[in-house]
């Protein structure tokens, strides 16, 4: 190691040297890996993974919603049906929209 580089702060002797004797940094290195060449393909795969994950989360939330409210709490809802508003079932589409938004926001 040259004496001029031995005392330099942050010098890594494992880095290759340029023709001027200074260490190569990432901006000096040309990246030619297949991953960088096909980044649009990887981006598409990432979008697919996010979409599949969101659909899986949506299905899980809907199944849990059915089990909790349709099976477990159904007797309690039936016993107290006089205090529930009957027109709220017309607005259930809002809950589906909220569940979809939550499914996508969890990624």
Q: In the chain, where are the structural domains located?
A: 38-107
Is the pLDDT assigned to residue 74 strictly greater than 70? yes
Instruction: For residues 26 and 12, give the distance between their C-alpha atoms in angstroms, rounded to a whole number.
Output: 13
Q: How many residues does the chain have?
A: 107
Cα angle vertex 93, ends 88, 98, to 5°? Answer: 110
Is 19 or 78 the better-scoring residue by pLDDT?
Answer: 78
How many helical (H) and strand (E) elements, i.e. helices and strands, does the chain have?
A: 5, 0
φ/ψ of residue 21, rounded to 5: 95, 0
Per-residue tokens: 74: 């159904």
Instruction: Write down the pLDDT at residue 76.
Output: 93
Instruction: Report residue 10's pLDDT band, with 50, 70 and 90 as the boundaries.
Output: low
CB 67 within 8 A of CB 29: no
Q: Which residues of the chain form beta strands (DSSP E)?
A: none
Per-residue tokens: 3: 């004496």
């Amino acid at each position: 190691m040259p004496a001029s580089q031995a005392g330099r702060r942050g010098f890594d002797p494992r880095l290759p040297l340029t023709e001027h004797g200074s260490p190569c940094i990432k901006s000096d290195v040309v990246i030619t890996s297949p991953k960088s060449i096909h980044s649009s393909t990887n981006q598409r795969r990432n979008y697919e993974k996010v979409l599949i994950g969101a659909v899986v989360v949506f299905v899980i939330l809907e199944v849990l919603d059915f089990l909790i409210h349709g099976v477990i709490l159904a007797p309690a809802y039936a016993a107290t049906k006089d205090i529930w508003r009957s027109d709220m079932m017309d607005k259930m589409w809002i809950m589906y929209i909220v569940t979809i938004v939550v499914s996508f926001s969890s990624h």
